[in-house]
C-alpha cells in the first residue's frame, strides 16, 4: 500500500504485515444468503440489499437509538441500532446498504425489523454473489473495499512466511487449526462456521500469549524473594479474635488461614480477596495487619476515598489499639502540621498500622519497615498503583481487597498474577435487602414510605448519579432536589447533602451528622459508593438508576442492610428510561448474588466500562473478547501456566519463538511488559 494508507493503518495499531493478519473483521456480509425484503420471515438470518429511505435518531437518557427504514423492490423493513453513534454519520436517505442479521418482530412497532445488524455501505454494482465478505472497522477515509484489497494482497503474498507461535503440544491437545489456515479463513471464509472456528483459534492464541506473560510475571514476583517472613502467632490471633464483637465466619477463618500461609513463606504474598459488600473483609485484613505488627513490622491499608480511609481508621483504632497497636491516619486533606506529624511517625516506625488514601503512595511518604500492604476496593486502583505501593517497602506482602465481585475472565486477566481468596459467606443474621424498581408515577408513594421509615427512627440514603461530562448540571440537579426535599417534602426530618465538590471539612461534618443519627436523610452524589457503615440506615433510594452500572448499584445497595432491621433498596428509573434499561435493572431486584450481577454487567457493558477506570492494566485485545470468550480464556490460562511450568526460562526453541511472538504482539498494549 502507499504511504498515505500505511499511515492510516498505523493509527489503528497495524504497522506490519503480521499486524494486518491479526486485524480481524468485525463482521461479515453473507452474500451466499441474500433475500428479498418482501420474503422475510421472523428469525431468518439473512442479508438484504436495500436502500435507506428515511432515518431517525432517538435519545433515551444517554443511549442513542438510530432507526433506518430500508427498501428494495419487494418491500420495506426497519433496522435499529442502539448506542452506535457513528452510524448516524454513515447512513442517510439514498445510501445503498447490505444489511445482515436476524429478522425479529418488534412488538412496539408491530412489524419486522433488524436489531443491531451488521451492515455495509455499497455502491450501485457492488454485489459479491456467492461470497462471504469481511467487514473491517472503519479506518478513517479508507473504503471497505480498499481495506479488503490490502488484506487480500498481504495474504496472497506473505501468508506462507508466518510461523505458528503456538507450541505443538497445545495445538494437538486443543485440536486447533494451524495459523495459516486460520488467518486465511478469518479474512476470507468459505463459510461462517469456518470464520467462527478461525476467529476462535486466533482469540485463543491471543489469550494464551497474554497468560504466558501473566505466568512469567507471577514467577518473577515469587522469585524476587526477600519478603519479610511473618510467622503466624496463634496467641496473638487469639487476642485479636477476643477483641472482636463477633465470631469470625467459616469463610473468614479459611481466608485468614490462606493469608497466614502466604505470610510465613519467604516470598511476597500477592493475593486478591474478593468478598461481596458486607462479607467482612476488614476483619480479615485487620487480623493479618495485627500479625505484621506482632512480628515487629509495619502494615498499611490504602482506601480509595477519604471517607472510607477515615472509617477504616476509626474501626481499626477501636479494634487494634486495645491490643497495643499504634494506628495512624494519613490523608490528602490534612493540615500541614498534622501531616508532618503523621509522616514523622510513619518514617520512624512508631506508626505500626497506617491507614490512608493515595497519600500513602506519594513520594514523600516513607515507611520505616512496611511488611504488609492492604489495598481496599481494588477496582479503583490499577497495576500501576499496586507497583507504587510495592515500592514503599522491600518486597512487602500485598493483599488486594475488592467488593466488586470480579467476573472470572477479568480476574484472570487484570489480576491474573494474584492468588485469589473468596469470602463466599455472609455474617449470620443479615436480612436480605428488599429491592424494587419504581418510576415517576410511584414517587408519591415512595416518599410516603420514606416518611414512615424516618418516623420509626430509621435513616435514608438518596443517591444521585454524577455523569462525568455534565457534572455541573447534575450537581445543580442534585442540589435543587435536596432543597426541595428539605423544604417541601420532608419537613419533619433533617436532610443533609454531600457531594464530591465539597471541602473535606464540610463533607466530614455532614457525614458525621449522618453517622451520629442527627441527620435522617442523606442526599448525595455517588461519594457514598464505597464503604460508609451506618447500621441504622435502612433505605437506599437511587435516582436515575438506569444510568448506573449493575455492579455499582449493587455496591450502593450494600450500604444498607448492615444492621438487624429489614432494609430496602428503591431503584427509581427516570422518564426517559428504555425498556431495555428497566430489564437490566430488574436483575438487581431478582438477585442478591454479586457474582451473578457482575457477570451480567460485564456481558452488557464490556470490560473497559465494567472496570470503570483508566489505569486498570487491562491490555487491548485485538481478537479476543473478554465478555464472550471466557471458556477460551480458562483453557488458555491452564495451558499457558502448564507450558511455563515446563519451560520456565522460555529457553527451548519453541519457548523462545513463543516469547518473541508474544512480546511483538503485546508491544504498546500495556500490562506486564516488564517481563523477561
Ligand atoms: P466489607 O467486606 O464490605 O468491607 P466490612 O468488613 O465492612 O465488610 O464488614 C461489614 C460489617 O459486618 C461490619 O459492621 C463488621 O463489623 C461486620 N462483621 C464482619 N465480620 C462479621 C462476622 N463474622 N459476624 C458478624 N458481623 C461481622
Ligand atoms: Mg470494606
Model pLDDT for residues 200-211, shown as the tens digit of each residue: 999 999 999 999
Evaluate whether 648 touches 219 at the Cβ level (below 8 Å).
yes
Mutate to test the pocket of ligand 1, among 253, 255, 274, 280 (most ligand atoms within 8 A of CB): 280
pLDDT for the residue 394? 78
Instruction: Please tell me which of 324-328, 601-605, 627-631 the model is most confident about, judged by mean pLDDT.
Output: 324-328
pLDDT for the residue 178? 95
Tell the residue nearest (CA) to atom 5 of ligand 1: 280
In the predicted structure, residue 61 carries a pLDDT above the cut 70: no
**pTM to 2 decimal places:** 0.68
In the predicted structure, residue 419 carries a pLDDT above the cut 90: no
DSSP, collapsed to helix, strand or coil, labels residue 458 as: coil
Q: Which three cell numbers stand for residue 439?
A: 418510576
Evaluate whether 450 touches 490 at the Cβ level (below 8 Å).
yes
User: How many other CB atoms are there within 10 angstroms of residue 539's CB atom?
Assistant: 22
Going from the Cα of 314 to the center of ligand 2, the distance in angstroms, rounded, reads 13
Q: Measured from the CA of 429, which atom of ligand 1 is nearest?
A: 25
pLDDT for the residue 669? 62
Whole-angstrom distance, CA of residue 414 vs CA of residue 217: 12
Averaged pLDDT, 638-664: 94
Q: Measured from the CA of 315, which atom of ligand 1 is nearest?
A: 16
Pocket around ligand 1 at a 6 A CB cut-off: 246-249, 252, 275, 277-283, 403, 427, 533, 562
The per-residue pLDDT for range 367-418, each reduced to its tens digit, is 999 999 999 876 555 666 777 777 887 789 999 998 766 776 677 776 777 8
- Give DSSP secondary structure letters for 335-400: -HHHHHHHHHHHHHT--SEEEESGGGGSTT---S-EEEEEESSGGG--HHHHHHHHTTSSS-EEEE
pLDDT for the residue 674? 42
30 phi and psi, to 5 degrees?
Answer: -90, 90
- Give the H/E segment covering residue 504: helix 504-516
DSSP secondary structure code for residue 674 in this structure: T
pLDDT for the residue 605? 65
pLDDT for the residue 505? 81
pLDDT for the residue 613? 38
> Alpha carbon of 546 to those of 135, 230, 559, 584: distances in Å?
33, 47, 19, 8
Instruction: Please tell me which of 89-93, 278-282, 298-302 the model is most confident about, judged by mean pLDDT.
Output: 298-302
Tell the residue nearest (CA) to atom 23 of ligand 1: 248
Instruction: Report CA 37 to chain centroid distance, whole Å.
Output: 41
In the predicted structure, residue 675 carries a pLDDT above the cut 70: no
User: With bands split at pLDDT 50, 70 and 90, how would you rate the model's confidence at 338?
Assistant: very high
pLDDT for the residue 383? 63
pLDDT for the residue 676? 33
Q: Measured from the CA of 558, which atom of ligand 1 is nearest?
A: 3
Q: pLDDT: is 562 or 201 the higher one?
A: 201
Domains of the chain plus CATH, in order, are: 28-135 (2.40.50.140), 234-423 (3.40.50.300), 434-611 (3.40.50.300)
Averaged pLDDT, 263-271: 89
Least confident among 233-242, 318-327, 411-420, 628-637: 411-420
Going from the Cα of 533 to the center of ligand 1, the distance in angstroms, rounded, reads 10
DSSP secondary structure code for residue 513 in this structure: H
Evaluate whether 78 touches 68 at the Cβ level (below 8 Å).
yes
Evaluate whether 485 touches 462 at the Cβ level (below 8 Å).
yes
Q: Measured from the CA of 252, which atom of ligand 1 is nearest?
A: 23
- Give DSSP secondary structure letters for 589-610: HH---HHHHHHHHHHHHHHHHH
User: With bands split at pLDDT 50, 70 and 90, how would you rate the model's confidence at 306?
Assistant: confident
Instruction: Report CA 517 to chain centroid distance, whole Å.
Output: 34
The per-residue pLDDT for range 354-363, each reduced to its tens digit, is 999 888 888 8
Averaged pLDDT, 637-650: 93
User: With bands split at pLDDT 50, 70 and 90, how would you rate the model's confidence at 564?
Assistant: confident
pLDDT for the residue 44? 87
Q: Which of 67, 147, 81, 48 is nearest to 109 (CA)?
A: 67
Going from the Cα of 636 to the center of ligand 1, the distance in angstroms, rounded, reads 36
Tell the residue nearest (CA) to atom 1 of ligand 1: 278
Averaged pLDDT, 524-529: 66
Q: Which of 597, 560, 592, 562 is nearest to 405 (CA)?
A: 597
Tell the residue nearest (CA) to atom 16 of ligand 1: 280
In the predicted structure, residue 608 carries a pLDDT above the cut 70: no
Q: How long, in residues, is the chain?
A: 676
> Alpha carbon of 255 to those of 235, 248, 327, 408: distances in Å?
18, 11, 23, 18
Q: Which residues pair with 78 in a beta bridge?
A: 69, 113
DSSP secondary structure code for residue 141 in this structure: T
The per-residue pLDDT for range 503-525, each reduced to its tens digit, is 878 888 888 899 899 999 999 87
pLDDT for the residue 601? 77
Q: Give CA angle at 52 (48, 57), nearest 5°.
A: 115
Q: Give CA angle at 354 (348, 360), nearest 5°.
A: 90
Q: Measured from the CA of 535, which atom of ligand 1 is nearest?
A: 14
Going from the Cα of 111 to the center of ligand 2, the distance in angstroms, rounded, reads 50
Going from the Cα of 421 to the center of ligand 2, the distance in angstroms, rounded, reads 15
Tell the residue nearest (CA) to atom 4 of ligand 1: 281
The per-residue pLDDT for range 134-163, each reduced to its tens digit, is 989 888 888 888 999 999 999 999 999 999
Averaged pLDDT, 248-268: 94
Q: Give CA angle at 136 (130, 141), nearest 5°.
A: 115
Going from the Cα of 533 to the center of ligand 2, the distance in angstroms, rounded, reads 9
Going from the Cα of 369 to the center of ligand 2, the distance in angstroms, rounded, reads 25
> Alpha carbon of 560 to those of 248, 403, 536, 563, 569: distances in Å?
21, 15, 8, 8, 8
In the predicted structure, residue 177 carries a pLDDT above the cut 70: yes
Q: Which residues pair with 233 in a beta bridge?
A: none
In the predicted structure, residue 29 carries a pLDDT above the cut 60: yes
Going from the Cα of 534 to the center of ligand 2, the distance in angstroms, rounded, reads 13
Q: Which of 400, 362, 364 is nearest to 381 (CA)?
A: 400
Averaged pLDDT, 436-443: 93
Least confident among 182-196, 276-290, 494-508: 494-508
Q: Which three cell numbers stand for residue 246?
A: 463477633
Strand 75-82 relative to strand 63-72: parallel, antiparallel, unpaired?
antiparallel
Averaged pLDDT, 218-236: 85
Going from the Cα of 283 to the center of ligand 1, the distance in angstroms, rounded, reads 7
Helix 594-611 and helix 550-557, axial crossing angle in degrees, nearest 10: 120
| Side-chain half-sphere CA neighbours of 186 within 13 A | 26
- Give the H/E segment covering residue 99: strand 96-106
CB under 8 Å to 287, separation ≥6 — which residues? 237, 240, 241, 256, 259
Q: Which residues pair with 114 in a beta bridge?
A: 79, 103
pLDDT for the residue 529? 47
At which residue does the C-alpha cell 497506617 appear? Answer: 354
Average pLDDT over the chain, rounded to an integer: 86
Amino acid at each position: 500500500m502507499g504511504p498515505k494508507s500505511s499511515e492510516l493503518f498505523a493509527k489503528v495499531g497495524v504497522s506490519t504485515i503480521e499486524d494486518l493478519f491479526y486485524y480481524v473483521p468485525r463482521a461479515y456480509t453473507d452474500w451466499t444468503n441474500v433475500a428479498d425484503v418482501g420474503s422475510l420471515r421472523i428469525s431468518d438470518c439473512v442479508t438484504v440489499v436495500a436502500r435507506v429511505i428515511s432515518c431517525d435518531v432517538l435519545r433515551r437518557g444517554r443511549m442513542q437509538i438510530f432507526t433506518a427504514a430500508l427498501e428494495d423492490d419487494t418491500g420495506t423493513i426497519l433496522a435499529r441500532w442502539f448506542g452506535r453513534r457513528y452510524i448516524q454519520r454513515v447512513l442517510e436517505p439514498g445510501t445503498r446498504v447490505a444489511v445482515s442479521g436476524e429478522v425479529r418482530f418488534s412488538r412496539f412497532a408491530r412489524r419486522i425489523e433488524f436489531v443491531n445488524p451488521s451492515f455495509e455501505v455499497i455502491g450501485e454494482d457492488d454485489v459479491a454473489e456467492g461470497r462471504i465478505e469481511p467487514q473491517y472497522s472503519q479506518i478513517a477515509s479508507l473504503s471497505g473495499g480498499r481495506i479488503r484489497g490490502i488484506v487480500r494482497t498481504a495474504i496472497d503474498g506473505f501468508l506462507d512466511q508466518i510461523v505458528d507461535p503456538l507450541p505443538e503440544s497445545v495445538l494437538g491437545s486443543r485440536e486447533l487449526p494451524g495459523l495459516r489456515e486460520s488467518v486465511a479463513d478469518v479474512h476470507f471464509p468459505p463459510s461462517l462456521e469456518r470464520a467462527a472456528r478461525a476467529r476462535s483459534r486466533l482469540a485463543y492464541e491471543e489469550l494464551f500469549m497474554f497468560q504466558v506473560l501473566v505466568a512469567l510475571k507471577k514467577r518473577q514476583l515469587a522469585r524476587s524473594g526477600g519478603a519479610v517472613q511473618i510467622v503466624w502467632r496463634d496467641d496473638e490471633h487469639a487476642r485479636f479474635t477476643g477483641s472482636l464483637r463477633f465470631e469470625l465466619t467459616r469463610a473468614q477463618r479459611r481466608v485468614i488461614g490462606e493469608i497466614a500461609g502466604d505470610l510465613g513463606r519467604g516470598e511476597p504474598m500477592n493475593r486478591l480477596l474478593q468478598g461481596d459488600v458486607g462479607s467482612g473483609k476488614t476483619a480479615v485484613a485487620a487480623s493479618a495487619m495485627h500479625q505484621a505488627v506482632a512480628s515487629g513490622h509495619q502494615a498499611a491499608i490504602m482506601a480509595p476515598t477519604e471517607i472510607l480511609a477515615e472509617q477504616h481508621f476509626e474501626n481499626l483504632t477501636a479494634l487494634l489499639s486495645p491490643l497495643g497497636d499504634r494506628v495512624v491516619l494519613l490523608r490528602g486533606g490534612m493540615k500541614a502540621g498534622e501531616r508532618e506529624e503523621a509522616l514523622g511517625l510513619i518514617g520512624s516506625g512508631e506508626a505500626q498500622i497506617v491507614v490512608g488514601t493515595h497519600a500513602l503512595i506519594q513520594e514523600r511518604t516513607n515507611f520505616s519497615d512496611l511488611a504488609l500492604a492492604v489495598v481496599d476496593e481494588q477496582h479503583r486502583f490499577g497495576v500501576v498503583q499496586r507497583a507504587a505501593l510495592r515500592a514503599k517497602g522491600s518486597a512487602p506482602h500485598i493483599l488486594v481487597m475488592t467488593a466488586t465481585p470480579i467476573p472470572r475472565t477479568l480476574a484472570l486477566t487484570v489480576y491474573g498474577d494474584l492468588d485469589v481468596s473468596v469470602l463466599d459467606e455472609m455474617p449470620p443474621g443479615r436480612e436480605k435487602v428488599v429491592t424494587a424498581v419504581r418510576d415517576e408515577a410511584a414517587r408519591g408513594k415512595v416518599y410516603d414510605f420514606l416518611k414512615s421509615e424516618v418516623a420509626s427512627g430509621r435513616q435514608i440514603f438518596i443517591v444521585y448519579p454524577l455523569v462525568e461530562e455534565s457534572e455541573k448540571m447534575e450537581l445543580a440537579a442534585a442540589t435543587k432536589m435536596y432543597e426541595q426535599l428539605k423544604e417541601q417534602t420532608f419537613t419533619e426530618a433533617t436532610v443533609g447533602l454531600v457531594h464530591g465538590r465539597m471541602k473535606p471539612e464540610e463533607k466530614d461534618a455532614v457525614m458525621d451528622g449522618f453517622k451520629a443519627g442527627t441527620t435522617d436523610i442523606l442526599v448525595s452524589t455517588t461519594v457514598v459508593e464505597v464503604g460508609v457503615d451506618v447500621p441504622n440506615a435502612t433505605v437506599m433510594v437511587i435516582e436515575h438508576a438506569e444510568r448506573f452500572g449493575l455492579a455499582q448499584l449493587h455496591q450502593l445497595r450494600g450500604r444498607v442492610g448492615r444492621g438487624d432491621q429489614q432494609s430496602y433498596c428503591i431503584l427509581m428509573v427516570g422518564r426517559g428510561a428504555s425498556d431495555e434499561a428497566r430489564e437490566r435493572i430488574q436483575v438487581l431486584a431478582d438477585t442478591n448474588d454479586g457474582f451473578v450481577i457482575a457477570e451480567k454487567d460485564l456481558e452488557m457493558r464490556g470490560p473497559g466500562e465494567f472496570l470503570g477506570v483508566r489505569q486498570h492494566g487491562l491490555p487491548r485485545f485485538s481478537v479476543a473478547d473478554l465478555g464472550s470468550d471466557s471458556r477460551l480464556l480458562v483453557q488458555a490460562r491452564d495451558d499457558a501456566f502448564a507450558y511455563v511450568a515446563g519451560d520456565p526460562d522460555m529457553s527451548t526453541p519453541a519457548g523462545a519463538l513463543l516469547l518473541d511472538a508474544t512480546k511483538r504482539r503485546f508491544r504498546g498494549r500495556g500490562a506486564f511488559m516488564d517481563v523477561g
